[in-house]
Structure 1
Amino acid sequence: MKKYTIILSACLALGSSVFAQSGKPLFTNAIGVQAYTFRSSMPKATVAVLDTIKALGITELEGEGSKDMPKEQFKKLCDERGIKIPSVGAGYDDIVKDPQAVVKLAKTLGASYVMVAWIPHKKEFTLEDAKKAVADFNRVGKILKENGLTFCYHSHGYEFGKYGDGTLFDYIAKNTDPRYVSFEIDILWSFHGGQDPAQLINKYPSRMKLMHLKDIRKGVANDLTGGTDTRNDVALGTGQINIPEVLKAAKKAGIKHYFIEDESPSYSKQLPVTIAYIKSLKN
């Protein structure tokens, strides 16, 4: 992993020179990363991955670590490197069946947010799927709130199918209780589902608490599948999404936690470019 860290550091230096601009920084929040980015290496080399995250200047992590490592140990390793865990993920079925277990997980890792990234459904996401999710989210969101946690649903693209004058996402947003249900906007999946992420944030500013920073390869068409080839994940600023406009909307909405999520096999090369791009953006 030493070689891996050196490569990342070299790319970061290169990225900084490529994206250098003048003016006041647009992005002033802590830089976070979604642990899923390291899904192939985290289980085998947790310590080395955390060292790499630290070397990149990333100070926030969304995730629970390796399944084989006790959560207390994972938190200790993160603490030793100055990495905070503001948010953890939970499977839909897991949180519906045993929300208290999810509460315990979040408390153990010191998280304030719990996000669910997928609503089970068949090929097409329907109104009935949305109605069930609304009921489940309101119930578990209330339980999390009573335990000092914020529940967030992570958009995935398929929720933007048309419904009435809007979308099924609008239905979920309007029928969930704002006291108990918030959102984590994944800008790639929102865009891939046919939305303008900046406009979506502007539409629901008080509901958007977290963000996944991602970009999608130029030329990739939008659809409602909630899926695309992982090679279509590209470094921020090199794809189709207007990142400065998204970050301006997010800043106005008061989003505090941003997690880079790069599902591409080339994430080790792309992460430093993404970080340098974010730091280069000016008002």
Structure 2
Amino acid sequence: MTNLKVALQLYTLRDYDKEDFAAKLRKVREAGYDGVEFAGFANMSAADLKATLDSLQLTAMGSHTRIEELLGDLDNVIAYNQVIGSSYIVIPYYEMKSEEHVQTLIGIAKEIGPKIKAAGMDLLYHNHYHEFINDFGDKPILETLRESTTEGELNFEIDMFWTTHAGREPVRIMDDFGTRCKTVHLKDMVNKEEKEMTELGTGILDLAGIVAKAKAAGYEWVVVEQDRIKIDGYESVKLSLDNVKALL
């Protein structure tokens, strides 16, 4: 059992304070978040971003990084994340429409994962629903990724919304992936028919069960994310956080 910390995936607030990244971070901290997961750095230098985070007492939990950057500029990606204090570098999406695509990603993970591990971080893969569907193999793509790599090469950030979208049960998937799942994206769903996103604690997901499993499994972090928001973004992320903290 651990003291679970909560980060916000900043993609959630991509349309807010576009010209003042520091203001966005300050508002996230004021909402009560312990950390942030980045999806870009607003052209800030690593040193400046680290200073801003430190001044706010906000932790860089990790960063979503496009596969093109990982393949083309890995040394700088690693160096930047080391400076800001990231624990995780996350592949946010990878299109897999054939067995060749899957094997390519496995090869990428085997190449860059150990380098990221040697730098003191983990390479994670963040799923959508298509990784649970496989038209060209005998098992879900996500299982193939897990079975074809080691913990030193690739681990997982399992998205609870997309897991549910694919007809899977989130806590069961967390169990199945064991120590290979390092963190989860908390994201709620209004209902299984329309599959519409909503603030945490206002939908159908077993948020209490997911949080309890994360704590029992020894996760350091869980991450709040909501791709589509109908109310004010800052109100949304505060409501989601409050409902998670009520379970902590």
TM-score (norm 2): 0.90
Tell me what 2:172 maps to.
199
* Distance (whole Å) between structure 2 residues aligned to residue 246 and residue 280 of structure 1: 13
1:131 has 2:95 as partner: no
SS at match of 2:179: coil
1:103 has 2:103 as partner: no
Runs of 5+ unmatched residues, structure 1: 1-25, 223-231
1:174 has 2:138 as partner: no
Tell me what 1:277 maps to.
243
Cα deviation, 1:232-271, whole Å, max 9, x if unaligned, reads: 3211121121111212222232221111112223233322
Cα deviation, 1:204-252, whole Å, max 9, x if unaligned, reads: 1110112211112224456xxxxxxxxx321112112111121222223
Cα deviation, 1:116-143, whole Å, max 9, x if unaligned, reads: 111134xxx3322211111111111011
Tell me what 2:130 maps to.
158
Residue type of the partner of 1:89?
H
1:28 positional shift = 4.2
Cα deviation, 1:82-139, whole Å, max 9, x if unaligned, reads: 0010211210121123321211121121112100111134xxx332221111111111
1:164 positional shift = 5.2
Query: Which of these two proteins has the greater Rg computed from alpha carbons?
Result: 1
Residue type of the partner of 1:217?
V
Runs of 5+ unmatched residues, structure 2: none
**Which one of 166, 171, 188 corresponds to residue 215 of structure 1?**
188
SS at match of 1:114: strand
Of the structure 1 ranges 262-271 and 91-100, higher mean CA displacement relative to structure 2 is found in 262-271
Matched-pair identity in %? 22
* Distance (whole Å) between structure 2 residues aligned to residue 119 and residue 65 of structure 1: 17
**Which one of 99, 112, 119 corresponds to residue 140 of structure 1?**
112
* Aligned CA distance change for structure 1 residues 274 and 245 (closer, same or farther; 3 Å): same
Pairs aligned (count): 245
Residue type of the partner of 2:156?
F
* Aligned CA distance change for structure 1 residues 278 and 27 (closer, same or farther; 3 Å): farther
SS at match of 1:263: coil
TM-score (norm 1): 0.80
1:120 has 2:81 as partner: no
* Distance (whole Å) between structure 2 residues aligned to residue 164 and residue 221 of structure 1: 28
1:185 has 2:158 as partner: yes
* Distance (whole Å) between structure 1 residues aligned to residue 137 and residue 175 of structure 2: 20
1:258 has 2:222 as partner: yes
* Distance (whole Å) between structure 1 residues aligned to residue 210 and residue 33 of structure 2: 20
**Which one of 35, 38, 46 corresponds to residue 21 of structure 2?**
46
